[in-house]
Structure 1
Amino acid sequence: MHQIKEFENKKVLVLGLAKSGEAAARLLDRLGAIVTVNDGKPFEENPTAQALLEAGIRVICGSHPLELLEEDFALVVKNPGIRYDNPMVAQALQKGIPVWTEVELAYLISEAPIIGITGSNGKTTTTTMIAEVLNQGQQSVKLCGNIGFPASSVAQEATANDVLVMELSSFQLMGIEAFRPHIAVITNLMPTHIDYHGSFEEYVAAKWRIQEQMTADDFVVLNMNQEIASSLAKQTKAQVIPISTQEAVDGAYLADGQLYFKGEQIMAATDIGVPGSHNVENALATIAVAKLMGIDNQAIKEALSAFGGVKHRLQHAGQLEGVTFYNDSKSTNILATQKALSGFDNSKVILIAGGLDRGNEFDELVPDLVGLKHMVILGESAPRVKRAAEQAGVPYTEAQDVADATRKAYQVATAGDIILLSPANASWDMYANFEVRGDSFLATVEELKGKK
Structure 2
Amino acid sequence: MNAHELNGKRVVIWGAGMEGQAAATFIMENAKPATVDFIDDKSSPEDEKNAILARADIVIKSPGVSLYKPEVQALLARGVSVTSLLNLWLAQPHTAKIIGITGSKGKSTTSSLLLHVLHAAGCKVALCGNIGTPVTAINLQETEIAIVETSSYQAATLSQPCDIGLVTALYPEHLDWHGSVKTYYADKLNLLTHSHTKIATPQVISAAMEHHLTLAPDTLFMTKHDFHAEGTTLFESGQAIGSLDNPYLLRAHNLANVYAVLSIVRALGKDVGAALSAMADFKGLPHRQQELGVKDGLLYVNDSLSTTPQSAIAAMAAYAGRPLTLIAGGFDRGIDYAPLVIYLINRPHIFVVCLGESGARIFGSLRYLGMTGVAMAATMDEAVLIARLHTSTSINGGGVVLLSPAAPSYGLFKDYAERGESFKKASGV
TM-score, scaled relative to structure 1: 0.79
SS at match of 2:72: helix
The structure whose RCO (Cα within 8 Å, separation 6+) is larger is 2
Q: Does 1:365 align with 2:347?
A: no
SS at match of 1:347: coil
Which string of whole-angstrom CA distances, capped at 9 and with x for unpartnered residues, describes residues 330-369 of structure 1? 3233222111122222334333334455496657534456
Match of 2:185 in 1: 204
Match of 1:129 in 2: 113
Q: Mapping of 1:296-335 within 5 angstroms?
A: 296-297=271-272, 299-320=274-295, 323-335=298-310
Q: Does 1:148 align with 2:128?
A: no
Matched pairs, number: 416
Inter-partner Cα distance in structure 2 for 1:386 and 1:197:
26
| Greater CA drift, 277-286 or 306-315 | 306-315
SS at match of 1:443: helix
Work out whether residues 192 and 200 of structure 1, in 8 Å CA contact, stay in contact via their aligned partners in 2. yes
Q: CA distance change for structure 1 residues 189 and 319 in 2, over 3 Å: closer, same or farther?
A: same
Inter-partner Cα distance in structure 1 for 2:141 and 2:335:
49
Work out whether residues 252 and 259 of structure 1, in 8 Å CA contact, stay in contact via their aligned partners in 2. yes
Match of 1:338 in 2: 313
The residue type equivalent to 1:193 in the other structure is H
Work out whether residues 173 and 206 of structure 1, in 8 Å CA contact, stay in contact via their aligned partners in 2. yes
Q: CA distance change for structure 1 residues 106 and 10 in 2, over 3 Å: closer, same or farther?
A: same
Work out whether residues 376 and 408 of structure 1, in 8 Å CA contact, stay in contact via their aligned partners in 2. no
The residue type equivalent to 2:354 in the other structure is L
Which string of whole-angstrom CA distances, capped at 9 and with x for unpartnered residues, describes residues 392-432 of structure 1? 97855664432233344345442543221123344446434
Work out whether residues 118 and 168 of structure 1, in 8 Å CA contact, stay in contact via their aligned partners in 2. yes
Work out whether residues 353 and 386 of structure 2, in 8 Å CA contact, stay in contact via their aligned partners in 1. no
Which string of whole-angstrom CA distances, capped at 9 and with x for unpartnered residues, describes residues 168-213 of structure 1? 1221122232x11111110111122223222222222212221324
CA displacement at 1:81 relative to structure 2? 1.4
Match of 2:216 in 1: 236
Inter-partner Cα distance in structure 2 for 1:221 and 1:189:
13
Q: Does 1:420 align with 2:392?
A: no
Inter-partner Cα distance in structure 2 for 1:305 and 1:389:
43
Work out whether residues 349 and 372 of structure 1, in 8 Å CA contact, stay in contact via their aligned partners in 2. no
CA displacement at 1:77 relative to structure 2? 1.0
Q: CA distance change for structure 1 residues 369 and 264 in 2, over 3 Å: closer, same or farther?
A: farther
Work out whether residues 369 and 389 of structure 1, in 8 Å CA contact, stay in contact via their aligned partners in 2. no
The residue type equivalent to 1:183 in the other structure is I
Inter-partner Cα distance in structure 1 for 2:242 and 2:420:
31
Which 5+ residue runs of structure 2 have no aligned equivalent? none
The residue type equivalent to 1:96 in the other structure is G
Work out whether residues 12 and 33 of structure 1, in 8 Å CA contact, stay in contact via their aligned partners in 2. no
Q: Does 1:29 align with 2:12?
A: no
| Greater CA drift, 392-401 or 200-209 | 392-401
Partner residue of 1:189 out of 163, 170, 189:
170
| Greater CA drift, 136-145 or 382-391 | 382-391
Match of 1:284 in 2: 259
Inter-partner Cα distance in structure 2 for 1:335 and 1:65:
38
TM-score, scaled relative to structure 2: 0.83
Which string of whole-angstrom CA distances, capped at 9 and with x for unpartnered residues, describes residues 36-81 of structure 1? 1322379xx9xxxxxxxxxxxxxxx6554333345462x2211111
Inter-partner Cα distance in structure 2 for 1:234 and 1:318:
45
Match of 2:354 in 1: 378
Q: Mapping of 1:104-115 within 5 angstroms?
A: 104-109=87-92, 111=94, 112-115=96-99
Which 5+ residue runs of structure 1 have no aligned equivalent? 46-60
CA displacement at 1:267 relative to structure 2? 4.9
Q: Does 1:434 align with 2:416?
A: yes
CA displacement at 1:233 relative to structure 2? 10
RMSD: 3.4
SS at match of 2:141: coil
Q: Mapping of 1:38-187 within 5 angstroms?
A: 38-40=38-40, 62=45, 64-69=48-53, 71=55, 73=57, 75-86=58-69, 88-109=71-92, 111=94, 112-151=96-135, 153-155=136-138, 157-159=139-141, 161-177=143-159, 179-187=160-168
Work out whether residues 267 and 301 of structure 1, in 8 Å CA contact, stay in contact via their aligned partners in 2. yes
Q: CA distance change for structure 1 residues 379 and 68 in 2, over 3 Å: closer, same or farther?
A: closer
The residue type equivalent to 1:185 in the other structure is L
Work out whether residues 324 and 416 of structure 1, in 8 Å CA contact, stay in contact via their aligned partners in 2. yes
